[in-house]
Structure 1
């Protein structure tokens, strides 16, 4: 994902708007919101993403004990703003070892969450059963937000998805056992609303999960 914008659905090269198209184009997926190059985690880089984002930039706040902010990604361009965001956090897993969490907010059809989840996209609808009892719950922007287990994902991760503020919310956790984090009703804050508190974020090394 580093270097140049890429397709949020497949990671392939994208062609910028030009004479024959007013949108970014992927040879496989057609018009897409380009995934911007990932930069090392910093407050400054996070502020760039939050200022242009048209969707929430979700993060557990406060972070679980010992957890660090380890990366942010955004799909969109300067004209249309960020239409999907992904925030990475890493720290001690609930059953030992290290855990990693990606929280993705996106508009319908962007496909970034499905890519991180490891399923065919672009949206989680075919992989969740909203008629069943939710498998987890978070508090997003002060509201209880149910999440359902996403089926068909690789066995190395646990994936949950639901809707928050009218947009898709994905939670992707490695390893699978660290999905227990989502059973504790994590409190998620939209970092666009966090103000100066963002300056207090504990920051770690860039997570390889967000550049995979």
Structure 2
């Protein structure tokens, strides 16, 4: 693990529950679900997050050809469990070079997806036009799941968001043109429900995207 728990919205320091508060506190954002230190990619690290998660742990499965699992973490504590999860993967981009993908599942108001998306949070609602047709679609746990383009994100990334299992699902892709990955109905599996084949998960180096 790297470092101490932090605010999922800004990365700042958080104060643990104590005499005057029963929740983790950020000086800027008030009560938060603490973001736990990032775990380097391994099957064991994925298992730690999966066992603690109260929300899906989404991963493309099987991974696209030559893609690797490159990190995982969650927001929550031992009492509440993981209320947001993020999984990172990387591999050959559709138009050349290397692409990186973060998949975030979170409860309303956590703000982890907005942080990695680079937008004001905590939720994507104000940044998507839900009355227009979705710009992308994934198959999440066997269900077609529409995703809308998130506006106001930095130009270096493509950001999509929607709902899966009543929770926010964010897909954040670098570089921006690699957002084409989401146009091919990417198949996502909740790792909590995956079988023994996860033991064969190919792991790469930890992505710095999770550390920002």
Mark yes or no: TM-score above 0.5: yes
TM range (shorter): over 0.9
Q: Secondary structure at the match of 1:177?
A: helix
Deviation of residue 66 (structure 1)? Answer: 0.6
Q: Does 1:130 align with 2:130?
A: yes
**Residue 29 of structure 1: how far off its partner (Å):** 0.3
DSSP 3-state at the match of 2:134: coil
Q: CA deviation at 1:110?
A: 0.1
User: Could you say which residue in structure 1 is the equivalent of 2:43?
Assistant: 43
Which 10-residue stretch deviates more, 196-205 or 110-119?
196-205
Q: Which moved more, 1:192-201 or 1:127-136?
A: 192-201
* Alpha-carbon distance in 1 for matches of 2:12, 2:198: 32
The range that moved more, 5-14 or 37-46, is 37-46
Structure 1 residues 38-58: Cα deviation after superposition (integer angstroms, max 9, x where no partner): 021111111000001000000
Matches within 5 A, 1:129-208: 129-208=129-208
Q: Distance in 2 between matches of 1:157 and 1:105?
A: 18
Superposition CA RMSD, Å: 0.8
Q: 1:13 aligns to what?
A: 13
The Cα shift of 1:182 comes to: 0.1
Q: Given the two structures, how large is their TM-score scaled by the length of structure 2? A: 0.99
Q: Map 1:26-175 to 2 at 5 A.
A: 26-175=26-175
Shift of 1:180: 0.2
What is the deviation of 1:196?
A: 1.4
Unaligned 5+ segments in structure 1 are none
Instruction: Give the TM-score normalised by structure 1.
Output: 0.99
1:210 Cα deviation from its structure 2 partner: 1.1
- State the alpha-carbon separation in 1 of the partners of residues 189 and 31 from structure 2: 31
CA distance in 2, matches of 1:51, 1:209: 23
Q: Which deviations, in whole Å up to 9, do the C-alpha atoms of 1:132-188 show, x marking residues without a partner? A: 010000000100000000000000000000000000000000000100000000000
Equivalent position SS for 1:89: strand
